[in-house]
Amino acid sequence: MRATLIYGAGDIRVENVPDPRIHRPTDAVVRVLRSCICGSDLWPYGSREATEHGDRIGHEFLGIVEELGSDVSGLKRGDLVVAPFVWSDNTCDFCAEGLQTSCRHGGFWASQDVDGGQGEAVRVPQAQGTLVKLPVAEDSALLPSLLTLSDVFCTGHHCAVTAGVGPRTTVTVVGDGAVGLSAVLAARRLGAERIILMGRHKGRTDLGRDFGATDVVAERGEEGIERVRELTGGDGTHTVLECVGTLPALHMSVGAVRAGGTISRVGAPQYPEVPFGFPEFASNLTLTGGMAPARAYIEELLPDVLEGRIEPGRVFDRTVDMDGVPEGYRAMADREALKVLVEP
C-alpha cells in the first residue's frame, strides 16, 4: 500500500510500504477512507532534521474495518469507524477518567512500529478501545465532519471544556487555524455568551463568525490585548482558548483573560516555560488544557454531527489524493489552505 513519510523539514514523500497485518489479537486493520493533515504535522514539516529513512506521519483517519484480531469484540469487517489521534484500551483507570491520552496501554500513531494515518490502510492497536463505529455509508457527505472527531473538533471541544466554558461565559479564542475555529464552534455549542476570535485571515475569521464568533480582533500582541480589553469594559474575558502553541499567543492569552479566569491551551507548546508569576497569581489565573483525549468526547459529539446541528468539517478547504499529500503540506504551511483532507 501507499503511505506518507516525512524525511525532514519540507520533505514529504508518498511511498509503497508493506500492507498492514494483524500483529496482536487486539489489533484491527482499517482501510482509510479519509485522512487529513494537522497543524501539529507542520511543526516537524517546518523543522525536522533530514534523515535517510523516512518516518510515517499522520494521526487522523476514518475508514472501513478490513481485518480483526481474535480478541476484538464489538466490531465487524465492513464497519465504518473513526480513530482518535491517540490509541487506547479505553478501560484502564486513566481511560475511565476520560484521559485516554494517558492510557496505560495506549500510544501514538506513526510511532515505533505503528502506522501513520496518512496512508491507504492502518494497523490499529487496541482496536476495541480505540475505534468508534459511525452509522453512515462510505459515500456519506458527513465524512469530513465525522473525521474532525478524530482530532481537530475534539481538540477545540477539550479546550472549551477544560476552560469551563458554559452559558454566561465570555471567551477569547487565540488563533484562526482549524483548531481555533473548532474551539469557536465548541464554545458556541456549550452556550458561550460572547466569543471574541483573534485572527488576521479574513477567510478564516469569516468562517469563525459562521461558527459563532461574535467579535473578531485582527490586531496582535499588546494591540490585540488592548482591543479585547476595550471590548470587555477593560476586564478581559472569563476564558481564553489558546489554539496556537507559541509564546506570543500565550502572552496574548494572559493579557486578554479576566481576573479569576482560565487560559486553556491546546496548541502543542513550542516553549519550555510560561510567564505565570506574581501578577498572574495575584489575579487568580488558571492555566489548563493539554493534549485532547478525543476518544472521551466522540460519543458525546457524534449526534450533533450526524443530525447536522454542527458542521465542523467546514474547516477543510482543500482535498487531495495520496499523490497530492506533499502539495497539501506545502499549501497548509504557506497558509494557502486552512486544513487539507486526504482521500486516498
Q: Can you give the binding site for a copy of itself, defined by CB under 8 A?
A: 94, 97, 99, 101-102, 162, 259-260, 265, 268-269, 271-278, 280-291, 293
Q: Which is nearer to a copy of itself, 9 or 99 (CB)?
A: 99
Q: Which is nearer to a copy of itself, 142 or 268 (CB)?
A: 268
- Minimum Å distance from CB 42 to a copy of itself? 16
Q: Rounded distance, CA 252 to CA 226, Å?
A: 10
Cα of first residue to Cα of last residue in the chain, in angstroms, is 10
- Minimum Å distance from CB 170 to a copy of itself? 12
Report yes or no: 200 and 299 within 8 Å, Cβ to Cβ: no
- Minimum Å distance from CB 262 to a copy of itself? 8
- Minimum Å distance from CB 98 to a copy of itself? 8
Three-class SS of residue 162? helix
C-alpha cell recorded at residue 123 = 494497523
Q: Which is nearer to a copy of itself, 285 or 332 (CB)?
A: 285
Q: Rounded distance, CA 329 to CA 9, Å?
A: 11
- Minimum Å distance from CB 167 to a copy of itself? 15
DSSP string for residues in 174-211:
E--SHHHHHHHHHHHHTT-SEEEEE-S-HHHHHHHHHH
Convert 176-198 to b/e letters by CB count within 10 Å (16 or more is b).
Answer: bbbbbbbbbbbbbbbebebbbbb
Q: Which is nearer to a copy of itself, 251 or 339 (CB)?
A: 251
- Residue 335: count of CB within 10 angstroms of its CB: 10
Q: Which is nearer to a copy of itself, 19 or 97 (CB)?
A: 97
Q: Which is nearer to a copy of itself, 191 or 275 (CB)?
A: 275
Report yes or no: 57 and 37 within 8 Å, Cβ to Cβ: no
- Minimum Å distance from CB 232 to a copy of itself? 12
- Minimum Å distance from CB 183 to a copy of itself? 16
Three-class SS of residue 127? helix
C-alpha cell recorded at residue 69 = 484480531
Phi, psi at 159, each rounded to 5°: -60, -45
Q: Which is nearer to a copy of itself, 255 or 269 (CB)?
A: 269
- Minimum Å distance from CB 321 to a copy of itself? 32
Q: Which is nearer to a copy of itself, 52 or 273 (CB)?
A: 273
- Residue 45: count of CB within 10 angstroms of its CB: 21
Three-class SS of residue 280? helix
Phi-psi region of 236 (alpha: psi -120 to 50; beta: other; left: phi over 0): left
Report yes or no: 156 and 179 within 8 Å, Cβ to Cβ: yes
